[in-house]
């Protein structure tokens, strides 16, 4: 990995668990439907990096991919074209917990000040986390939803069984990954699946195995 190459200066310059009750599972999953942040803004991420740095084998992108054009109204959509994984917190903690990252996409790094930053993962990506380091960190794992998925039907499945459904709202949604890790729910396998009004699909899956957590982003 080349995470140790990422510095604020350089980027600016260029288990095991007991039985889970259904009530506990639904309580955790309900949090996936609540907004926890502002809508991802249009345009590039100031301070994002390029120049050969990578997260795992994913390249750092200087700008996020171009937003979608609304096929009905002809207006440019805001936020990511499809929901994406976003991780934010102390850069040192992010670097330490990401065991590997690979796929056909890339990562936009936005510096938030005081040693903090945000990784936005675009494309079909897989991110492998050190479970213990994530659990003991201040890092947030969230899903950023753009306006093109406003009102999309979201289904949340545990162990291939749909446990909750709701309509998506544009914004940033907490994955509740830390709680799922604490309770062992992630070891059963949790899938977040959204389908937009235009029948575009987006899937983020979370699966724990030993001291690793595998996050897959696909459509």
| Residue of 163, 210, 164, 205 lying closest to 184 (CA atoms) | 210
The pLDDT-based confidence of 6 (bands split at 50, 70, 90) is low
Handedness of CA 96, 97, 103, 107 (dihedral sign): negative
Tokens for 15, please give them: 């288990």
Handedness of CA 151, 157, 161, 165 (dihedral sign): negative
Query: pLDDT tens digits, residue range 161-209?
Result: 999 999 999 999 999 999 999 999 999 999 999 999 999 999 999 999 9
Separation CA 129–CA 18 (nearest Å): 23
Rg (CA), the chain: 17
The pLDDT-based confidence of 27 (bands split at 50, 70, 90) is low
DSSP 150: T
Per-residue pLDDT for 69 more than 60? no
Number of domains in the chain: 1
Looking at residue 34, what is its pLDDT?
A: 41
Separation CA 176–CA 60 (nearest Å): 26
Give φ, ψ of 102 to 5 degrees. Answer: -155, 165
Separation CA 123–CA 121 (nearest Å): 7
Looking at residue 23, what is its pLDDT?
A: 54
**When comparing pLDDT for 66 and 45, which is higher?**
66
Q: What percent of the chain has pLDDT over 70?
A: 71
Helices assigned H by DSSP within 14-124:
22-30, 91-97
CA 110 to chain centre: 14
Range of the domain at 156: 3-218
Average pLDDT taken over every residue of the chain = 81
Looking at residue 170, what is its pLDDT?
A: 95
């Amino acid at each position: 990995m080349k995470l140790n190459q990422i510095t604020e200066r350089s980027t600016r310059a260029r288990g095991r668990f007991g039985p889970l009750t259904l009530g506990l599972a639904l309580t955790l999953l309900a949090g996936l439907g609540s907004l926890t942040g502002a809508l991802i803004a249009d345009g590039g991420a100031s301070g994002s990096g390029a120049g050969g740095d990578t997260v795992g084998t994913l390249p750092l992108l200087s700008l996020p991919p171009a937003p979608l054009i609304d096929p009905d109204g002809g207006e440019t959509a805001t936020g990511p074209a499809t929901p994406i994984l976003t991780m934010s917190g102390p850069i040192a903690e992010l670097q330490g917990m990401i065991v590997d990252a690979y796929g056909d996409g890339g990562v936009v790094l936005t510096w938030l000040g005081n040693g903090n930053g945000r990784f936005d993962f675009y494309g079909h990506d897989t991110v492998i986390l050190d479970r213990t380091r994530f659990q003991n960190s201040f890092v947030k794992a969230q899903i950023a939803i753009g306006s093109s998925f406003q009102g999309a039907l979201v289904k949340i499945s545990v162990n291939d069984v749909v446990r909750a459904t709701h309509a998506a709202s544009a914004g940033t949604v907490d994955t509740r990954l830390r709680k799922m890790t604490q309770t062992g729910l992630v070891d059963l396998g949790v899938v977040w699946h959204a389908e937009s009004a235009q029948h575009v699909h987006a899937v983020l899956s979370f699966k724990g195995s030993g001291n690793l957590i595998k996050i897959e982003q696909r459509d």
